[in-house]
Each structure stands twice: as C-alpha cells, then as structure tokens.
C-alpha cells in the first residue's frame, strides 16, 4: 500500500469504509484531483483505475457505493475481468446518486448499462423474478441516462 500523504478526517473515513466493505482489497488515493482506485495483491498483477469522482469530501458516499459495485464485479469475475472493465460495468450505478454528467460520461454509462443488460440476459440463471427485477432496474437507469442526454 502507498504511504499515507493526506490525513484529513474525511480521507481517513473514506479509506476505512472502503477497506471494511472490500475486505482490504482496494485502496483509494488522490490522482490530480480525482479518485484513483488501486488493487495490489501480492499474488495478482497490480491494477488501477480513475473513478469519475472528484477528490472531495462531498463524494464519500458516491465513492463507497461505486467501489462496492466495482468490488462485486471484480471479485466475482476474478481472472476474466480487469479493474477497468469492472468500473465500466459498475459506473451506471452512479447515476442513482449523482447528476450533472458530461456527454462523454453519459455515453459511457449508457454503453455500460447496455452491456450489463446483455450480460444478465445471456448468462443469468436462478430466480427468474430477481433476474427480471435486475433487468427492469437497468432499463429504468437507461431511461434516466437518455433523459439526461436530451436535457444536455
């Protein structure tokens, strides 16, 4: 793990929450005013990705929610997913919590949602009701993205 440089209370709180919710798998740092997520386990290749969130205490909840989504995608797709791929799949969950995306961010979210729906439709098995609810949630988010794109 990198050396701690920032010791603001909100940074400590953010790192503590991320460590607790991801079993010490990820570490978050400041990268030119944006949040950078790092994965560095000794037996695996180190990976990093920059989150679409500013390094600011106002984004603690957004960051924790996004990192948990990334963690779930990354851990369950171990070996077949990179950290960046997990970010693309998890990024649409941000639209639930944040507004004011750029056109490029909306495009990435839209394609991430489409990819997630395709993956659910082609690989999901088990409780049909749960699968349908998940797909419905994704389509609602797609509608929200399209509505945001129209406004901008």
Same domain, 77 and 142: no
The domain containing residue 78 runs over which residues?
A: 1-98
* 47 DSSP β-pair partners: 39
Same domain, 81 and 107: no
Tell me the pLDDT band of 13, cut-offs 50, 70 and 90. very high
- The pLDDT score that the predictor gives to residue 36 is 93
- 30: helix, coil or strand? strand
Same domain, 61 and 106: no
- The pLDDT score that the predictor gives to residue 96 is 60
Determine the angle formed by the axes of helices 103-123 and 128-151, rounding to 10 degrees.
160
Same domain, 28 and 3: yes
Same domain, 115 and 80: no
pTM of the model: 0.62
Same domain, 119 and 93: no
Same domain, 82 and 106: no
Q: How far apart are the first and last CA of the chain?
A: 40
* 35 DSSP β-pair partners: 30
Measured CA to CA, the distance from residue 19 to residue 27 in angstroms comes to: 7
- The pLDDT score that the predictor gives to residue 95 is 62
Same domain, 69 and 118: no
Number of domains the chain is built from: 2
Same domain, 44 and 79: yes
- The pLDDT score that the predictor gives to residue 87 is 79
Instruction: Please write the tens of the pLDDT for every residue from 56-112.
Output: 888 888 889 889 888 888 877 655 567 877 777 777 666 665 666 777 777 777 877
């Amino acid at each position: 793990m990198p050396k701690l440089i920032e010791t603001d209370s909100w940074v400590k709180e953010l790192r503590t929450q991320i460590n607790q919710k991801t079993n010490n798998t990820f570490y978050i740092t400041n990268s030119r005013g944006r949040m950078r997520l790092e994965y560095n386990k000794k037996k695996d290749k180190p990976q990093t990705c920059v989150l679409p969130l500013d390094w600011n205490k106002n984004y603690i909840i957004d960051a924790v929610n996004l990192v948990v989504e990334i963690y779930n995608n990354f851990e369950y797709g171990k070996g077949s997913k990179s950290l960046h791929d997990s970010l693309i799949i998890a990024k649409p969950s941000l639209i639930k919590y944040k507004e004011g995306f750029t056109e490029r961010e909306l495009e990435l979210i839209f394609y991430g949602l489409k990819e997630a729906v395709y993956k659910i439709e082609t690989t999901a098995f088990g409780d049909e009701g749960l699968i349908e609810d998940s797909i419905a949630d994704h389509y609602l988010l797609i509608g929200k993205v399209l509505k945001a794109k129209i406004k901008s």
